[in-house]
Amino acid sequence: MGLRYTSYIDHPKNKHAKFVTYGCCNCRTHLSSSAQIMSKDYRGTTGDAYLMNRVVNVLEGDRETRCMLTGCYVVCDIKCHMCKNLVGWKYVESERKDQRYKEGKFILELQTICKVH
């Protein structure tokens, strides 16, 4: 499988900014930051979720088609690369043109993440 490197998310130099680093609630491995939040108006399988532009330190599962409120998507689950805790999913493909902005973006479920800074 090879050596897995862990990325760390640094706070910006501007200490007055409301910047939050989010990590896995199980092992606290960095996953993303408040700067990557595209929307806070999402629901996951465990409750509220964030749509994120970028995440780090995750493993992608197998692709599958899931039908949701806004249409059907090809998605893959994402897990923390350290402890393998399921933290959300990645949108791979959308069948609807008006939902294609989600392609390549991620859902992080709030029940699976915590603030680490």
Spatial contact of 32 and 51, defined as CB atoms under 8 Å apart = no
* Model pTM above 0.85: yes
Q: Does 13 reside within a domain?
A: no
| Residue 81 DSSP symbol | T
Q: Does 4 reside within a domain?
A: no
Question: Would you call 82 helix, strand, or coil by DSSP?
Answer: coil
Q: What's the mean pLDDT in 22-49?
A: 96
Q: Does 37 reside within a domain?
A: yes
Number of domains within the chain? 1
In angstroms, the CA 46 to CA 33 distance is 20
Q: What is the CATH number of the domain that holds 102?
A: 2.170.150.20
Domain that holds residue 110: 22-115
Give the rounded percent of residues in the chain with a pLDDT score beyond 90: 84
Other CB atoms closer than 10 Å to residue 37's CB: what's the count?
A: 15
Q: Does 2 reside within a domain?
A: no
Residues 6+ apart with CB under 8 A from 49: 42, 43, 88, 107, 108, 109, 110
Residues 41-87 pLDDT 10s: 999 999 999 999 999 999 999 999 999 999 999 999 999 999 999 99
